[in-house]
């Protein structure tokens, strides 16, 4: 059967909850933002975006700071750090939520992870829990001293893989007075066990592959990558056959509708040595701050949010918030779902920041 590319992608988009006409034309966005309603210019009296760079562990980090309408450096504003998904960059869903929170009066920051996106670090696309956690601490470092920010009213929002690393960061970083996650993805659990525990019988084999990849890096300088997907070569037929909503809809989001040149699913194979022996739930009881964990009720990744939520026994104030009908990727962009999550975040941060 011959597949019509435009029809198939349109069908997948409709399955994800939007029409093809709902997406903004992002090709001319001066800030590279690829989400609907993104800022195209800084206008006096409205939310503004400020591209910034700062140093973290010897690397230059690329970030965007969003300031509220009528921002005044002489006033004091609560602030929120936003951590992006695995494979994502600051111009996608992290930027969307950062902008929406700025519209509510928060100073927000979304940064590309070290070794990823527009941030420095070689080899490229290293994806290790220590670095991703440090990225969140680093955003807190920077935004805490940003003009007008009240460092005593600092919150954090982690999305997908950034959610798992946000939980890890919040265990020790008590600068965060309120901790939230959206569609939390426990990278260690998935890299170890497979998505939905589908690779339990190959754990040792994959650890050996990761070890061999590190040995090759040391001895030859050659870098091996896992999860490397050529979106241009990916056929619509193969997308339609992906059995899980997260990965099927993720191919459309990252490869078609919200594509960004800096976003890639690939990561160094040697990263698996650290990833597979890490888990966002370890010592999660150290989180004693108010905790909000949000997800879509139809997300096939929901099990990870529920597992972490159950083990987060150290806080007296925790809430699991589900939006009915939303899948994992739909929480990234579908307006009616995003509105509900943003309203919940406003209520949550308004109470604790």
- DSSP character string of 66-120: EE-TT--TTS-EEEEEEEPPTT--TTTHHHHHHHHHHHTT-EEEEEPPTTSTTS-
Confidence grade of residue 8 (pLDDT, cut at 50, 70, 90): very low
Q: Measured in whole angstroms, how far is the alpha carbon of residue 279 from the centre of its chain?
A: 17
Q: Per the domain annotation, does 249 fall within a domain?
A: yes
Rounded to an integer, the average pLDDT of 54-73 is 98
- Mapping DSSP to helix (H, G, I), strand (E, B) and coil, where does residue 313 land? coil
CA dist list (Å): 140 to 8, 145, 245, 274, 284: 42, 9, 33, 24, 20
Per mean pLDDT, which range of 3-7, 48-52, 159-163, 339-343 is the poorest? 3-7
- pLDDT given for residue 236 in this prediction: 85
Q: What sign for the dihedral angle of Cα 118, 120, 122, 127?
A: negative
303 three-class SS: helix
Mean pLDDT of 40-58: 98
User: Rounded CA gap, 213 and 224, in Å?
Assistant: 6
Please give the average per-residue pLDDT across 181-204, as a whole number.
98
Token code pair at residue 58 = 């010897």
The region, left, alpha or beta by phi > 0 then psi within -120 to 50, assigned to residue 296 is beta
In a domain, 269, yes or no: no
In a domain, 324, yes or no: yes
pLDDT score at 28: 80
Q: Which H/E stretch holds residue 208?
A: helix 203-220
SS3 237: helix
Residue 206 lies in a domain: no
Which residue(s) pair with 155 in the sheet?
Answer: 80, 178
Inside any domain, residue 215: no
Cα separation, 15 vs 146, whole angstroms: 41
Cis peptide before 123 (omega within 30 of 0): yes
Report the pLDDT value the prediction gives residue 62, as an integer from 0 to 100.
Answer: 98
Range of the domain at 312: 5-186+229-263+279-352
More confident residue, 16 or 290: 290
Per residue in 247-280, is it b (16+ CB within 10 Å) or e — as a string?
ebbbbbbbbbbbebebbbbebbbbbbbbbbebbb
Residues in the chain: 353
Q: Would you place residue 163 in the very low, low, confident or very high pLDDT band (cuts 50, 70, 90)?
A: very high
Asked if the model's pLDDT at residue 6 lies above 80, the reply is no
For residue 81, give both structure tokens. Answer: 């750090």
Per-residue pLDDT averaged across 128-151, rounded? 98
Among 19-28, 111-120, 150-159, 195-204, whose mean pLDDT is lowest?
A: 19-28
Cβ(80)–Cβ(101) under 8 Å? yes
Report d(CA 70, CA 47) in Å as an integer.
Answer: 8
- Does the pLDDT value for residue 24 go beyond 90? no
pLDDT-derived band at 197, boundaries 50, 70, 90: very high
Residue 200 lies in a domain: no
Structure confidence by residue, pLDDT tens digits, 231-277: 888 888 889 999 999 999 999 999 999 999 999 999 999 999 999 99
pLDDT reported for residue 27: 66
Q: What is the DSSP letter of 291?
A: E
What's the pLDDT tens digit per position in 95-128?
Answer: 999 999 999 999 999 999 999 999 999 999 999 9
User: Which CATH number is 316's domain given?
Assistant: 3.40.50.1820
Domain count for the chain, please give it: 1
For the chain, what is the mean pLDDT? 93
Q: In the chain, what is the straight-line distance between the N-terminal and C-terminal CA atoms, in Å?
A: 56
> CA triplet 280, 117, 180: central angle to 5 degrees?
35
What confidence category does residue 300 fall into, taking pLDDT thresholds of 50, 70 and 90?
very high
What's the pLDDT at 234? 81
> Nearest 5°: phi and psi at 173?
-90, 95
Lookup: tokens for 285: 């009881």
Does any domain span residue 221? no
DSSP strand pairing (59-67 vs 176-182): unpaired
| Six token digits for residue 268 | 């160094």
Sheet holding 149-159, edge to edge: 48-56, 59-67, 107-111, 77-83, 149-159, 176-182, 291-296, 318-323
Tokens of 302: 């929901």
pLDDT band at 190 (very low <50, low <70, confident <90, very high): very high
**Would 299 be classed as within a structural domain?**
yes
The confidence score (pLDDT) of residue 208 equals 98
């Amino acid at each position: 059967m011959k597949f019509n590319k435009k029809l198939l992608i349109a069908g997948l988009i409709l399955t994800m909850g939007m029409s093809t006409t709902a997406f903004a034309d992002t090709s001319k966005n001066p800030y590279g933002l690829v989400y609907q309603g993104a800022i195209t210019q800084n206008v006096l009296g409205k939310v503004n975006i400020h591209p910034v760079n700062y140093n973290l562990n010897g690397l230059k980090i690329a970030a965007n700071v969003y300031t509220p309408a009528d921002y005044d450096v002489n006033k004091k504003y609560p602030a929120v750090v936003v951590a992006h998904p695995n494979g994502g960059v600051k111009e996608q869903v992290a930027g969307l939520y950062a902008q929406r929170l700025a519209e509510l009066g928060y100073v927000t920051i979304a940064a590309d992870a070290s070794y990823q996106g527009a941030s420095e670090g070689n080899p490229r696309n290293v994806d290790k829990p220590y670095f991703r956690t440090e990225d969140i601490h680093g955003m807190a470092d920077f935004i805490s001293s940003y003009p007008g920010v009240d460092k005593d009213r600092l919150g954090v929002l982690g999305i997908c893989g950034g959610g798992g690393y946000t939980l890890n960061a919040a265990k020790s970083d008590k600068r965060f007075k309120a901790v939230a996650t959206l569609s939390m993805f426990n990278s260690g659990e998935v890299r170890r066990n497979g998505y939905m525990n589908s690779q339990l019988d190959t754990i040792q084999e994959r650890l050996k592959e990761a070890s061999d990849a590190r040995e090759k890096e040391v001895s030859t300088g050659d870098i091996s990558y896992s999860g490397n997907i050529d979106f241009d070569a990916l056929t619509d037929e193969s997308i339609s056959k992906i059995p899980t909503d997260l990965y099927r809809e993720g191919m459309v989001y990252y490869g078609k509708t919200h594509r960004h040149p800096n976003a890639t699913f690939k990561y160094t194979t040697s990263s698996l040595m650290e990833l597979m022996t890490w888990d966002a739930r370890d010592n999660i009881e150290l989180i004693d701050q108010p905790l909000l964990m949000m997800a879509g009720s139809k997300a096939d990744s929901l099990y990870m949010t529920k597992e972490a939520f159950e083990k987060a026994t150290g806080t007296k104030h925790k809430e699991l918030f589900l939006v009915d009908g939303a899948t994992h990727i739909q929480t990234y962009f579908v307006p009616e779902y995003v509105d509900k999550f943003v309203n919940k975040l406003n209520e949550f941060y308004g109470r604790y920041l």
